[in-house]
Amino acid sequence: MGLKDLYSPQFLTNLGTQLHQVAPTFDVTRFCQACLTEVWSDLKLMERRDVITTQMHAQLPASFSQAAAILRQVGPNFIGLAAVCLPNYVAVYGLDHWQVAMTTLAVLTKYSSAEFAIRPFLKRYPIATAQQMQAWAQSADADVRRLASEGMRPRLPWGTRLPQYMADPTPVLAVLHQLFFDKSDYVQKSVANNLNDISKDHPGVVIAFAQQYWSQAKSGDWILRRGLRTLFKQGNPAVLALLGYDITAAEKVTGVTLQPESDVAVIGGLTTVAYTV
């Protein structure tokens, strides 16, 4: 089963049924038939998500506030990646209703994730939404705090990039400073991945961030090691020094030879490499 098959006929029926229970005019059969057209089997995961979003909109109330209230009631019944079709509805149809959208995403992210859905709001309302992310960073709910970091990642995989943070990550760093000592592994991993994203455009900024916090907490050092991974692979001298590597050590290694048995390695095959140090 492929990842796209998370959106199965069974999922559609379940989603339609849950919507019908909250909004009795929602026709489950019509919804499923509108999604499961002849091209359905060819659609990728996010393409199926978009079809589902469109067909939900075809039957939910035209008022976004009313539709969002229905989504908030249905949300707890859907957990995991497939449930991103619900916050996606907010991203597509809630852009003109910022406050209702923020309230709804804060609910839905607890059951799936709103990291993709928040990004259009960061683009259209950069100041207000960045301030919302800082407020969410103080939430008692780890899923909401994680959204504050993950949603602002400049280079989020599968998500649209945020050029404003690739150019100037200052608003993102304000959130990461708040979350650096977070007790949740879920949040810590997001902070680390966010730092790694930023390091691809602003290595000096991330190195300064790491130098500020190094050795202050065991979890913090884990975050920094993961956040510095790209710079470490590049052999950045400041990163190597921070992580305890002697950048002059290579000069002390002499008499090194490395000789492969063959100059050609075949995929799926074996080769032997002889070395001396």
Domain 125-249 belongs to what topology? 1.25.40
> For residue 15, what are its two tokens?
């989603």
What is residue 49's predicted lDDT score, i.e. its pLDDT?
A: 97
Mean pLDDT, rounded, of the chain: 95
Confidence band of 155 (pLDDT split at 50, 70, 90): very high
Q: How far is CA 276 from the centre of its chain?
A: 44
What is residue 254's predicted lDDT score, i.e. its pLDDT?
A: 78
What is the mean pLDDT of the segment spanning 77-88? 94
Q: What are the start-end ranges of the H helices in 137-202?
A: 142-150, 163-167, 170-179, 185-199
User: pLDDT, tens digit, for every residue of 7-41?
Assistant: 999 999 999 999 999 999 999 999 999 999 999 99
Alpha-carbon dihedral sign for residues 42, 47, 48, 51: negative
Backbone torsions φ then ψ of 238, nearest 5 degrees: -65, -40
What is the mean pLDDT of the segment spanning 258-268? 87
User: pLDDT, tens digit, for every residue of 191-238?
Assistant: 999 999 999 999 999 999 999 999 999 999 999 999 999 999 999 999
What is the mean pLDDT of the segment spanning 62-69? 98
**Residue given tokens 């705090």 in the structure block:** 145
Annotated domain spans of the chain: 1-117, 125-249
pTM to 2 decimals? 0.87
User: Is pLDDT above 80 for 249?
Assistant: no
Per DSSP, 141 falls in state S
What is the mean pLDDT of the segment spanning 80-108? 97
- Note whether 49 and 7 are within 8 A (CB): yes
Query: In degrees to the nearest 10, what's the CA dihedral of 57, 103, 177, 240?
Result: -20
